Structure 1
């Protein structure tokens, strides 16, 4: 494929997010640099960027300035790619993204439906700049907001603009950010702290990690503006140790910001001083709760504190402390660079701006997406996500992580905002989206998430420690085919008690997956309990394997591979499965070439 206006390549971007790096993007970059040097094309700049979002298609390579988008590039493709695109001026068609719906190939990343229907504001630098080069951040408008704030705003004016923007905390609860800053600002005491919560522990969530890896200076700038507004001179970023690349790039960014005068004493010639430290967490999910996080920074066991007093009054080392998550801080520079009115014009009446989601599960296009508040789940899953894999039917989406809820097909057109999700029995959370198809058992899913939160409970309060354990035991019984009448009512009663009496947010939200699946998929619970049947065919104790005599040709493959000798039959005659011996491993179904083995 040749493009008449194919521009001379000046810069090649290679996705350096964790996903693409695990797929080999570092080796791709090394091979590309070597190939360019061998062909005397060393003047072309090769840049390792942060996450570009389309994790499903990595490693990603983008030719600038035109933005030609190559996906799943491997080391063995490099020589042909350089020859075709750079030397001959031809697009290497086989490495372009092909839409599975209309089979059209996208030349630039802007042509890919995954990107075309997003509104990338927080992620505008991710995938486009070198996160370890402060000059690239500055060239993209970085630190302009801080300079503007220090030159033109009083601390109270900063807070008023954040309130005017309508920004709400992106960590889960959705509390108004400006109001939170104001509480800390007005709290008595000369020493105050800013804390960035980067303890992203939800299964399948990688929003904060990707921002830290791809645009760390945006988070630093947001923390600086917050520090100026509330009167703090010191900040901490609490990031889990399982994010080594994020920690590495944060350390580089902090050192560069200090060298450039954006961190330290008398920043940019003002009387404002601010320093930032990194605290690596040990990976306890409960440390995502802000008071447990503060205990961990102080060197104590990560367990929540009773509230009040709230951290805004008595936080880190007993001093007033403002805590926001990574995405919240990354939004702040946008508000002051583009204006509070501009920001408030995005989204809905009560949920302003955009939201970053990590989309995983049974969807064609997994990855990191950013969309305006108010978009529907259908638009995210089918327009951006490309629909359900293998042509299967959509069943549900888990939003908000282990503390969130499951929404059914009937709510696909629900607008995504804080209040609508709460009303539907879910929550925004930090932004994890797990997509499920018809093969997902909703009872088993509720068991999975409750098992996670039960293990992650710090054990400090009885409702969470004991209540989630009792709920989990009931779910395990139901999935094992031992459910009994009254189990559903017991689950609902326990859930209400745990939600209303637990000490912190982990316990208060732990029952959500159970309550939401009971609300929308109660029939599956009833089928497990009353009919001893798993409609999705997942819970092995509730399955019965059989052989269709009309389809079976008696080849003996199933009999030969059965690990317990549960199958009998002569060659060229229909075989039979003995249900008393069958351990329901599914080997017979996977080995049968004629579709004769079924389960019910």
Structure 2
């Protein structure tokens, strides 16, 4: 497997006007759409299936298979909804992609809509990123002006309208059914499944919900073929992806590479840790809702299967890097603050569990806890995991259980002792610079 970068979605991000239609067409933009319109819907779906493209939003579900779940046409509408509500701490790949090269997404939306028989697609964007909203709206206007959207696209007889919708800023709306409720004007809360969106989604019609990067990867697959895509990555985790390095590295940013690359290789490309005096302490392979890893996991291949076998999840490939100056208890405490705040409150395990974890972690961080609090945290996690209405609750337990697994002694060092009579965090906050915005803040 190649371990070098594979600039595909990021190929021309450094061009002066990378976001413009002119730049995108100069790099063969919308050629894949012309190819797709000459193919049958079945062949398009099969090509994406053959490529092995898996959802880039976190779950890793095969994209082509999801498209194939739609029931046969019944004469009514069906919809494509792009989940652009990126808001997990550490996850920051979709927003720069839409900002730097939005036409990858627009072209992918048209191809996907044609494949599934959709005539009205929606892009649900997080409302706080007004600059990205404006950029997307401009890209949609350019696509309409060039005939890539609207009536009779490129003379094919296929019609498609695209609506860019700005959400009100709720993490829960990243869950696909909560997103659909929000898009319909309701309060963003998860729906009971089944029925799944493929059967009864937006406006109770068959709906495909995909992540931004998933849809943006489709044009390259159609242009170059499924075999080209499977030539990158691993056998079961094919292709390329954006790896978002943030935190205590010299050159944080987006690194587009084949799945299966390791953090050690990515760190080399990023110039290593920010300081030679402090080594890697812990990191997240897929954002704050995935179990943390330590330095012993530097060589774990970053693909869905290998990361799962090592005890975590690849998720959104949000690699948050923390060095030895970081207090793991403080980091987990801040993450749970986020999840307690963002819980929609629909189900008791998540609503109550995150609230109580927040209280216990706060006590521990400030030296007011006892050793039994660690078992209390694990007990709360057991009552959240697998019992929540959606994955928000499950994800919130990940940093807690994994941090206790790897850093139990550090939790105990926060308790009052002979060495630390008053208890509390033994780390110097000024030395850690832990919570600079690029470290764990939501984008």
* TM-score normalized by the length of structure 2: 0.92
Q: Counterpart in 2 of 1:541? A: 424
After superposition, the Cα gap between the structure-2 partners of 1:323 and 1:189, relative to the gap in structure 1 and judged at 3 Å, is: farther
Match of 2:105 among 192, 213, 219: 219
Compare CA radii of gyration and give the structure with the larger one. 1
How far off is 1:272 after superposition? 1.3
CA contact (8 A) 2:327 2:425 kept: no
CA contact (8 A) 1:533 1:543 kept: no
- The DSSP-based 3-state class of the residue aligned with 1:402 is coil
After superposition, the Cα gap between the structure-2 partners of 1:424 and 1:443, relative to the gap in structure 1 and judged at 3 Å, is: farther
Q: Counterpart in 2 of 1:387? A: 272
After superposition, the Cα gap between the structure-2 partners of 1:129 and 1:325, relative to the gap in structure 1 and judged at 3 Å, is: farther
Q: Counterpart in 2 of 1:234? A: 120
CA contact (8 A) 1:173 1:429 kept: yes
How far off is 1:495 after superposition? 1.1
Distance in 1 (alpha carbons) for counterparts of 2:5 and 2:211: 22
Answer yes or no: is 1:144 the counterpart of 2:144: no
After superposition, the Cα gap between the structure-2 partners of 1:121 and 1:513, relative to the gap in structure 1 and judged at 3 Å, is: same
Match of 2:9 among 122, 125, 140: 122
Distance in 1 (alpha carbons) for counterparts of 2:287 and 2:146: 38
CA contact (8 A) 1:481 1:532 kept: no
How far off is 1:530 after superposition? 7.2
Distance in 1 (alpha carbons) for counterparts of 2:16 and 2:144: 20
Distance in 2 (alpha carbons) for counterparts of 1:188 and 1:497: 43
How far off is 1:183 after superposition? 0.6
Q: Counterpart in 1 of 2:129? A: 243
Distance in 2 (alpha carbons) for counterparts of 1:187 and 1:288: 28
CA contact (8 A) 2:416 2:423 kept: no
After superposition, the Cα gap between the structure-2 partners of 1:147 and 1:586, relative to the gap in structure 1 and judged at 3 Å, is: closer
Q: Counterpart in 2 of 1:34? A: none
CA contact (8 A) 2:368 2:423 kept: no
CA deviations over 1:23-81 (Å, ceiling 9, x no partner): xxxxxxxxxxxxxxxxxxxxxxxxxxxxxxxxxxxxxxxxxxxxxxxxxxxxxxxxxxx
Distance in 1 (alpha carbons) for counterparts of 2:110 and 2:416: 58
Q: Counterpart in 1 of 2:202? A: 316
After superposition, the Cα gap between the structure-2 partners of 1:543 and 1:435, relative to the gap in structure 1 and judged at 3 Å, is: closer
- The DSSP-based 3-state class of the residue aligned with 2:288 is helix
Structure with larger RCO (C-alpha < 8 A, sep 6+) = 2
How far off is 1:206 after superposition? 2.2
Aligned pairs for 1:93-492 (under 5 A) are: 117-128=4-15, 130-151=17-38, 153-184=39-70, 186=72, 190-381=76-267, 383-391=268-276, 392-492=278-378
Distance in 2 (alpha carbons) for counterparts of 1:293 and 1:189: 25
CA contact (8 A) 1:129 1:137 kept: no
How far off is 1:186 after superposition? 4.0
How far off is 1:128 after superposition? 2.7
Distance in 2 (alpha carbons) for counterparts of 1:347 and 1:237: 28
- The DSSP-based 3-state class of the residue aligned with 1:363 is coil
Distance in 1 (alpha carbons) for counterparts of 2:307 and 2:342: 24
CA contact (8 A) 1:360 1:367 kept: yes
Q: Counterpart in 1 of 2:435? A: none
CA contact (8 A) 2:364 2:424 kept: no
Distance in 1 (alpha carbons) for counterparts of 2:402 and 2:236: 24
Distance in 2 (alpha carbons) for counterparts of 1:201 and 1:473: 24
Please provide the CA RMSD for this pair. Answer: 2.1
Structure 2, unpaired ranges of 5+: 432-443
After superposition, the Cα gap between the structure-2 partners of 1:585 and 1:247, relative to the gap in structure 1 and judged at 3 Å, is: closer
How far off is 1:418 after superposition? 1.2
Distance in 1 (alpha carbons) for counterparts of 2:373 and 2:23: 58
How far off is 1:475 after superposition? 1.1
Report the number of matched residues.
Answer: 427
Distance in 1 (alpha carbons) for counterparts of 2:364 and 2:52: 44
CA contact (8 A) 1:185 1:231 kept: no
After superposition, the Cα gap between the structure-2 partners of 1:376 and 1:132, relative to the gap in structure 1 and judged at 3 Å, is: closer
Distance in 2 (alpha carbons) for counterparts of 1:335 and 1:398: 29
CA contact (8 A) 1:291 1:304 kept: yes
Distance in 1 (alpha carbons) for counterparts of 2:84 and 2:366: 37
